[in-house]
Amino acid sequence: MPTCSPRGAPSSDRRLRHRALFTVALVGGLLLAGCERDDPLSNNRTLSETSKVEKGIVEAKKDIAELAKGKDPNDLQGSVEFDQARDRLIARGASIQSTLWEALKTSTDWSIRLGIVEVLQAIRTRPSTEPLIAVLNDPQPLVAMRADHALQFMYDHREIPKTGEPTGANGLPPVPVRAEDDFDRDADLRIWSEWHRANGKQLKVAWEAWWKANRETAVVVEPNLKLVDPDKSPGKSPAKESKYGPIPSFDPARNR
Give 96-123 pLDDT, tens digit per residue: 999 999 999 999 999 999 999 999 999 9
Domain range list for the chain: 53-230+239-255
Q: How many CB atoms lie within 10 A of CB 168?
A: 16
What is residue 201's three-state secondary structure?
helix
Percentage of the chain surpassing pLDDT 90? 61
The per-residue pLDDT of the chain, averaged, comes to 79
On the question of pLDDT at 167 being above 60, the answer is yes
Q: Whose CA is closest to 96, among 141, 53, 37?
A: 53
On the question of pLDDT at 217 being above 60, the answer is yes
Q: What is the pLDDT of residue 6?
A: 46
**136 and 204 Cβ atoms separated by less than 8 Å:** yes
* Cα–Cα distance measured from residue 155 to residue 129, given in angstroms and rounded to the nearest whole number: 10
**67 and 86 Cβ atoms separated by less than 8 Å:** yes
**117 and 89 Cβ atoms separated by less than 8 Å:** no
Using alpha carbons only, give the angle 253, 237, 162 rounded to the nearest 5 degrees.
Answer: 90
Name the pLDDT band for 8 (thresholds 50, 70, 90): very low
Name the pLDDT band for 135 (thresholds 50, 70, 90): very high
On the question of pLDDT at 80 being above 50, the answer is yes
Cα dihedral sign, 174-213-247-186: positive
Q: Which of 107-111, 161-165, 219-223 has the lowest mean pLDDT?
A: 219-223
Give 37-63 pLDDT, tens digit per residue: 545 555 555 656 677 778 889 999 999
Q: What is the pLDDT of residue 74?
A: 86
The answer for residues whose C-beta is within 8 angstroms of residue 152's C-beta and 6 or more apart is 158, 242, 244
pTM (2 d.p.): 0.70
On the question of pLDDT at 204 being above 60, the answer is yes
Q: What is the pLDDT of residue 215?
A: 95
Q: What is the pLDDT of residue 13?
A: 59
Q: What is the pLDDT of residue 44?
A: 57
**86 and 118 Cβ atoms separated by less than 8 Å:** yes
On the question of pLDDT at 186 being above 50, the answer is yes
- Between 217 and 41, the more confident residue is 217
Sheet holding 239-242, edge to edge: 226-228, 239-242, 245-246
H or E element in which residue 246 lies: strand 245-246
